Amino acid sequence: MKEKISIGILGLGTVGSGVVKVLKNHDEVEIKKIAVKDITKKRNIDGLNKSMLTDNPQTIVEDTDIQVVIEVIGGINPAFDLIKTAIKNKKHIVTANKELVAKHGAELFELAKKNNVTILYEAAVAGGIPIIMPLKLSLGANNISKIAGILNGTTNYILTKMDTEGREFEDVLKEAQDLGYAEADPSGDVKGFDAAYKIAILSSIAFDKKVDVNNVYIGGIDNITSTDISFAKEFGYKIKLVAIGQMANDNKIDVRVHPMLVPKTHLLYGVDDVVNAVMVEGDAVGKVMFSGPGAGDLPTASSVVGDLLCIVGDLLLDNTPIPLMRCKQRNGAKHLEIDNTRNKYFIRVNAKNVPGVLGDLGTICGNNNINLYNIVQKGVLEDGSARVVLLTEAALEKDLNKAIEEMNKKESINKVQNIIRVMD
């Protein structure tokens, strides 16, 4: 029996530093090398042995003594090529890189299979929340019908502040950047790309099909206003950026990310601030929810080191690391186009304050197979125009789009200002 497993770490940023801190409590692991961009940079890690640092990551993936490589660089380059080299050199991989797994996971998993090594990526989806291993193991008896989650803490923080303090998007975004919750370029978060990578990964596991992230419908929160949030609250909803993966008709899957009005009765309604949550619906278990910190140094490091110790435990016993965690997807998923999805809708309209305008809106909806369950005029603005809010029953997206086109052409209607889908 071997006493220690030698590992290398690619990256020593926020997550990498957290990994090193957590590993101080685990004697069965020995960090041999850590790749960084700048060896001279000061690190907030007590007792860090600087002799382990290298600015040449290639030395880690080619070192014959290193058995497991932890990748916490993020992004595609140079992470993709480094991991491919490590796999070809028979090294097991632990990664927190959601973009890499979503875009190139299929290729990497196939390469890992050929080289008889394992890739684990619990930290790539929900930070410190365990969800991938539960999906593969604990919930393995279920046919999963739906996953719905709040998978981005930055957007959840922004929407929560807009809800509780009545502030506008740009104002809260700047605060989130000042606090370190949002990047200088926040588009990956606020436009929904980050959550899209994560729901693509989860859907691949849940439905046992390769999900191409390019086929995931993506909408962001940058068009949400305090007015939308205020009206949603009046009707008993909160607006959240929700990632959904669910089975549809004809063996297709419906995978998407966009803002939604979440009702008080839903499990995701009370998930606020930077907290993440994932709801899973299975035929045996019913609905279960996993919730907690979706980012941060130590929470994410918890998942990274958890994956590492799973591999290490088996290597110390000379076993193949957790074969059930290996990728099983063989076939690509058939995606349901967004135009063919059925949704309930919140529609905010600016109209002329004239008799018959509500009737015009109702007629347009009726002519396009859309049933309204609420239509309310919400006062008159300073310019004399009227605010009108419509809530619909479930309708086809393509019918909704036709109705919106007709509304924008109607003389009594100035503009459809926003459309937000409503969660069941």
Catalytic residue numbers read 198
DSSP 338: G
Per DSSP, the chain holds a count of helices (H) and strands (E) of: 14, 17
Beta bridge partners of 376: 389
149 backbone φψ class: left, alpha, beta (φ>0; ψ -120 to 50)? beta
**C-alpha atoms less than 13 angstroms from C-alpha of 154 in its C-beta half-sphere:** 27
At residue 352, what are phi and psi to the nearest 5 degrees? -70, 145
DSSP letters along 304-325, please?
HHHHHHHHHHHHHTTPPS-GGG
Alpha carbon distance 407, 394 (integer Å): 19
SS3 string, 177-244, reads HHCCCCCCCCHHHHCCHHHHHHHHHHHHHHHCCECCHHHCEECCCCCCCHHHHHHHHHCCEEEEEEEE
The kind and range of the H/E element at 412 are none
In this structure, what is the dihedral angle of CA atoms 31, 35, 38, 40, given to the nearest 10 degrees?
A: 20
Alpha carbon distance 180, 190 (integer Å): 14
Name the amino acid, one letter, at 236. G
DSSP 294: -
Alpha carbon distance 59, 53 (integer Å): 11
Pairing outcome for strands 237-247 and 286-293: unpaired
**b/e sequence 293-330, b meaning 16+ C-beta within 10 Å:** bbbbbbbbbbbbbbbbbbbbebbeeeeebbeebbbebe
Residue spans of alpha helices (H) in 30-168: 58-61, 79-88, 98-114, 123-126, 132-133, 153-165
Alpha carbon distance 189, 197 (integer Å): 11
